[in-house]
């Protein structure tokens, strides 16, 4: 338990002085990587609560040593009078940030309220997705050692993304996922694209790339005007940080716009892959690793990109008629790993 000096006896919220109540037990801890100095624990409370019948105000404290990080969640709440009856309303745990003096490394995480060590969920140990611009990552969800972990992102326009990993592999095909839009292949593994209808649109892509993990990408669009099957499948192909049998997938190159189609050498040769959107400006991004070249052909032109032993990125813009529907062909030197991403350019030329 932290020292009495570490826990403040009161906190002030909007002019209200709220007394310390007790230590609260937290449910899980997650961190982006072992090199991070900022992690999250999930506990009931907020910065502005503290009313007798509401969730408490919480303050999170961390005591660090060379081997241990001891985390206390101090709860503050106004006392409940004898004549006050509260309606039984549950409160869900929410992520509480914890800032450390040094990277977490291999230190143990301990819940100060129980004195017990907790497993730490390390996001970098799981498949990753670089979300499109405008999406804000939420704290990693799940409990270390449990079968399913989830990373989510949200945008101000109502869109949301979630990347769910289930270990061991568990593929489900049921009506809850909606209708099957198409079947495809990602990294040589069968993939299924689902969509639901109604007042909002939810897309899902599910595949098992290595026989050990099932990956599910979910895309919600309350306005029903952003996502398409092509765009969601392109995002699924941008998922990295897992190994297929044989060579692994390189991360996608960065492009100025939102990626609308992508391919990888891990998927096998790309020959005349159709792109069904129409746009006057397209950014072509290539990331490659290995000595040789990657040639991308589209709109009756070919661009050859030179690759080295270290992963290198290339970016070029392709312009054409706005009504043009075109095909893409990618060829590379044997042994060169590559990813190719196409992004729609904005109307102002950026």
Query: What are the tens digits of pLDDT across the range 78-116?
Result: 887 767 767 656 677 888 889 999 999 889 999 999 999
CATH classification of the domain holding 314: 2.60.120
Range of the domain at 256: 247-350
Of 72, 103, 121, which residue is a domain's last?
Answer: 121
CATH value at residue 241: 3.40.1000.10
In a domain, 4, yes or no: no
Domain boundary among 212, 230, 245: 245
Q: String of b and e for 207-246 (b: at least 16 CB within 10 Å)?
A: bbbbeebbbbbbbbbeeeebbbbbbbbbbbbbbbebebee
Per residue in 261-272, pLDDT (tens digit) is 777 877 666 655
Looking at residue 60, what is its pLDDT?
A: 92
Indicate if 133 and 236 belong to the same structural domain: yes
- Average pLDDT, whole number, for the chain? 78
Model pLDDT, residue 245 = 39
User: Residue 343 falls within a domain, yes or no?
Assistant: yes
Give percent of the chain above pLDDT 90: 9
Evaluate whether 239 touches 129 at the Cβ level (below 8 Å): yes
State which of 121, 154, 186 marks the end of a domain.
121
pLDDT in the model for residue 63: 94
Are residue 222 and residue 253 in the same domain, yes or no? no
| Residue 272: inside a domain | yes
Q: 239 and 134, same structural domain? A: yes
pTM above 0.95, yes or no: no
The residue among 321 and 333 whose pLDDT is bigger is: 333
The predicted structure's pLDDT at residue 223: 59
Higher pLDDT, 332 or 322: 332
pLDDT for the residue 242: 61
Please state the domain count of the chain.
3
| Length, in residues, of the chain | 350
- pLDDT class for 197, splitting at 50, 70, 90? low
DSSP code at position 211 = S
Mean pLDDT, to the nearest integer, of 238-260?
A: 64
Whether residues 192 and 268 fall in one domain: no
List the structure tokens of 173: 């095909």
Question: Does residue 132 sit in the same domain as residue 97?
Answer: no
Q: Is residue 64 part of a domain?
A: yes
Whether residue 221 is contained in a domain is answered as: yes
Q: For the beta carbon of residue 193, count every other beta carbon within 10 angstroms.
A: 23
Residue 3 located in a structural domain: no
What is the predicted pLDDT for the residue at 73?
A: 93
Q: Are residues 159 and 181 in the same domain?
A: yes
Of 122 and 139, the structure prediction assigns the larger pLDDT to 122
């Amino acid at each position: 338990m932290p020292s009495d000096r570490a826990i403040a006896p009161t906190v002030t919220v909007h002019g209200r002085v709220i007394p310390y109540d007790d230590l609260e037990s937290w449910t899980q801890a997650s961190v982006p990587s072992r090199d991070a100095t900022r992690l999250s624990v999930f506990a009931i409370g907020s910065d502005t609560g503290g009313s007798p019948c509401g969730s408490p105000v919480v303050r999170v404290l961390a005591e660090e040593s060379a081997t241990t990080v001891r985390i206390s969640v101090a709860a503050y709440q106004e006392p409940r009078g004898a004549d006050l009856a509260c309606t039984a309303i549950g409160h869900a745990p929410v992520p509480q940030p914890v800032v450390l003096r040094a990277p977490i490394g291999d230190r143990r995480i301990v819940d100060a309220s129980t004195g017990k060590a907790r497993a730490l969920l390390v996001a970098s140990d799981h498949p990753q997705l670089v979300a499109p611009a405008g999406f804000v990552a939420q704290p990693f969800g799940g409990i270390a050692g449990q079968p399913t972990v989830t990373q989510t992102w949200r945008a101000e326009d109502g869109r949301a993304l979630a990347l769910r990993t289930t270990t061991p592999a568990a593929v489900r095909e049921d009506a809850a996922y909606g209708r099957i839009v198409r079947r495809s292949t990602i990294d040589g593994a069968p993939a299924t694209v689902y969509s639901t209808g109604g007042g909002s649109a939810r897309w899902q892509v599910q595949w098992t790339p290595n026989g050990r993990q099932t990956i599910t990408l979910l895309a919600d669009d309350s306005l029903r005007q952003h996502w398409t099957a092509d765009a969601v499948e392109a995002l699924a192909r941008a998922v990295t940080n897992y190994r297929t049998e044989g060579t692994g997938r390189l991360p996608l190159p960065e492009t100025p716009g939102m990626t609308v189609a992508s391919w990888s050498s891990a998927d096998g040769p790309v020959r005349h892959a159709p792109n069904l959107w129409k746009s006057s400006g397209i950014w072509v991004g290539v990331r490659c690793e290995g000595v040789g070249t990657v040639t991308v052909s589209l709109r009756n032109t070919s661009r050859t990109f030179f690759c080295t032993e270290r992963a290198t990125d290339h970016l070029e813009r392709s312009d054409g008629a706005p009504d043009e529907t075109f095909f893409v062909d990618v060829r590379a030197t044997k042994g060169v790993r590559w990813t190719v991403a196409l992004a729609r350019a904005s109307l102002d030329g950026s």
